[in-house]
Chain A
Amino acid sequence: MTTEPFLLDEDITAQPEHVAPRSRWADLPVHLTLLIIGLAIATPIIISFFISFTPLRELVSRANPSILPDTWTFDNYEKAWNATPFGRFVLNSFIQTGIITAAQVLFSILAGYAFAMFEFKFKNALFAILIGSLIVPFELTFIPNFLLISDLGWANTYAGLTVPFLASAFGVFMMRQFFLSIPRDLYDAAKIDGASDWKYLWAVMTPLSKGAISAFTIFAFLSAWNQYLWPLIITNEENMRTAQIGIRFFLVNQERATDWGAIMAGAVIVMIPTLLVFIVAQKQLVKGIAASGLKG
């Protein structure tokens, strides 16, 4: 899609500077409103944490649902981890996500560099084709891709989970934009010093682009980890499921037993990596999203 209204360098996490002197309590209504809204939005996640520590007998016996457990237990995590091979699902997700993220970042740097620095035949046409791919919805490609991957015998393999997603047009676009912002003088100077393009890319460009690269890495990681439809159709063997698919089948099995503690423990396990990324790298993530307009 488009990025026009949102500048890459715009830092929406920064504090505004024009704070006029006000009395201490003038902000209170805003604080209260934001606190209530914030808690309301985070409630489904907060509840899942508490329920995951609530013993089953407490869940089914109490008259009214309560958020906080009376007694805390780790049983649900043990159950979720053992009842399904959740360890295997999480491992699969890490392998799948790792391959996709690494490839997307690497290939996007390479292609973004070419579009930013080189002159070559059909440059504009190729760039238009690249950007055009951003508006092709998943629905249009997943049936032929499923048939192709199946014909290759890649169903239920890591190749089947990852190969269709090894490139990212958005990543190329983002890298190109950032590389273009680096002064061309540097490139010319390096050329005079006899540096090759390849060397210049890895010795100068990528170190200067750490911010943009890490923002895209986070973005790619989250998109890959949160994938749902593709891993659902391309895997049907239990030991090749990703964590997102695992939670779906675990939910179907446990729901009859109303074992919501174990289900929420599973959900928390699946959420933890993304929540950690969110807490550690919120700033880059928010920048990346404000720059993209792409999610899911």
Chain B
Amino acid sequence: MAARVERIPKKRFSGPGWRPTAKAYVYLFPTFFILAVFVYFPIIESFRLSLNRVAPFGNQEISVGFDNYRRLLTSPDFWDTVKVSVYFMIGTVPVGIGLAVAIAILLAYPLKRLNWFYRTLIFVPVVISSAIAGTLFKLLYNPVVGFFNHWLSIIGIDGPNWLNEQNWAVVAVTIAVVWRQLGFNVIIALAGIQAIDEQLYEAAKVDGAGVFRRIWHITLPMLSPTLFFLAVVNVIISLQAFGEINILTDGGPGRGTTNLVYQVFVDGFVGTRFVGRASAQAFLLAIMIIGISIINFRGLRSRVHYQ
């Protein structure tokens, strides 16, 4: 008896009770309900669909295991769309980020006036949709009323038939995507540059470093977390390019600008619907994108840091 009294009752910390929990869940419910139905559930459903195929006769859905994936990975058409996706990535990411950083360095220059004016002109693509970007550039590329080839002819270059030659169509879409993304990239790069400690520049100046050396030895290294972030975001955005392709080329000429996303759209929603194949491709694409996002989460935390 005495021993029992002496034992200090171990009160386990049980955390918040159910009453405050219930209250919090009321506040959370709308958000999590929508996310559950339209984000979390579809992830599983998408995978299930990718294991199915509509039987050739009748509308019966039959399970085919990983056959959709096997067929995709052995089909040259699939690898063509992967190739197009990679072309867009190689075309947009280095150019888009390079331009953005150069412009942001200029914008960070402490001008006494007109700063707002330049920023307005340079940031404006940020509010333009992919559909509008496609529409504006379709005019510029037009061989008759368009402007690009006219401007090129002024400097003596015979412009290509932008949207009807396979290689040039890839370039044409790339330019439109880079343009639409530029405002965003400059904003992020500028935020990164302005977060750099001013004293570093002062110290370098005292040591006699010129403008370019200061950019090379201070701005760019200090900017590396931002550059890494931009690279990841731009890779993801380039993999997801859709609106510009839909309006400028409709995936053509031939299948020249049909990237993975566009093929998912064509398989899933144009003419005969191949939901299983579309889902399998969407799933492969999503794995790539999620993988890159996770690298982003980890990379920003650990690798590229100077502080």
Chain A residues with CB under 8 Å of B16's CB are 118-121, 123
Chain B: which residue is nearest A12 at the CB level? B191
Q: Is B112 an interface residue (CB 8 A)?
A: yes
Are A296 and B45 touching (Cβ within 8 A)?
no
Chain B residues with CB under 8 Å of A144's CB are 41-42, 45-46, 49
Interface string of A161-204 (1 = CB under 8 A from B): 00111111100100000000000000000000000010000000
| Contact count band on B | 35 or more
- Name the residue among A27, A45, A111, A144 with the largest chain B CB count within 10 angstroms: A144
A147 to B144: give the CA distance in the assembly, Å: 42
B96 → chain A, closest Cβ, in Å? Answer: 12
Q: Is B285 an interface residue (CB 8 A)?
A: yes
Chain B residues with CB under 8 Å of A247's CB are 131-132, 135
- Of residues 27 through 45 on chain A, the ones whose CB sits less than 8 Å from some CB of chain B are 27, 30-31, 33-35, 37-39, 41-42, 44-45
Q: Is A5 an interface residue (CB 8 A)?
A: yes
A134 to B116: give the CA distance in the assembly, Å: 32
Given A44-B140, A114-B28, A251-B135, answer yes or no on A289-B188 (Cβ-Cβ < 8 Å): yes
Q: Is A130 an interface residue (CB 8 A)?
A: yes
Are B146 and A65 touching (Cβ within 8 A)?
yes
Contact of A295 among B120, B126, B243, B283 (CB under 8 A): B126
Are B126 and A285 touching (Cβ within 8 A)?
yes
Are A111 and B28 touching (Cβ within 8 A)?
yes
Chain A residues with CB under 8 Å of B73's CB are none
Number of A-B contacts (CB under 8 A): 326
- Of residues 14 through 44 on chain B, the ones whose CB sits less than 8 Å from some CB of chain A are 15-16, 18, 20-21, 23-25, 27-28, 30-35, 37-43
- Of residues 236 through 256 on chain A, the ones whose CB sits less than 8 Å from some CB of chain B are 244-245, 247-248, 251, 255
Contact of A10 among B109, B191, B243, B275 (CB under 8 A): B191
Which B positions have Cβ atoms within 8 angstroms of A? 15-16, 18, 20-21, 23-25, 27-28, 30-35, 37-43, 45-46, 49, 103, 106-112, 114-133, 135-140, 142, 144-147, 150, 179, 181-184, 187-188, 190-192, 194-195, 198, 225-226, 229, 232-233, 236-237, 240, 242-243, 246-247, 261, 264-265, 268-269, 275, 278-279, 282-283, 285-286, 289-290, 293-294, 296-297, 300-301
What are 14 residue pairs bridging A and B, where the CB atoms are less than 8 Å apart in the complex?
Answer: A30-B106, A39-B121, A41-B179, A51-B139, A64-B150, A118-B23, A119-B20, A137-B289, A139-B264, A141-B42, A172-B31, A226-B130, A229-B242, A251-B247
Instruction: Give the 10 A-B CB pairs with smallest separation, nearest first.
Output: A38-B121, A226-B129, A167-B34, A135-B293, A120-B24, A144-B42, A114-B27, A140-B286, A144-B45, A120-B21
Beyond known contacts A47-B147, A137-B236, A229-B243: 18 more, CB 8 A cutoff: A27-B109, A31-B111, A37-B103, A38-B121, A47-B140, A111-B28, A121-B18, A130-B35, A137-B289, A143-B282, A145-B42, A148-B42, A163-B38, A167-B30, A228-B246, A289-B188, A293-B188, A295-B184
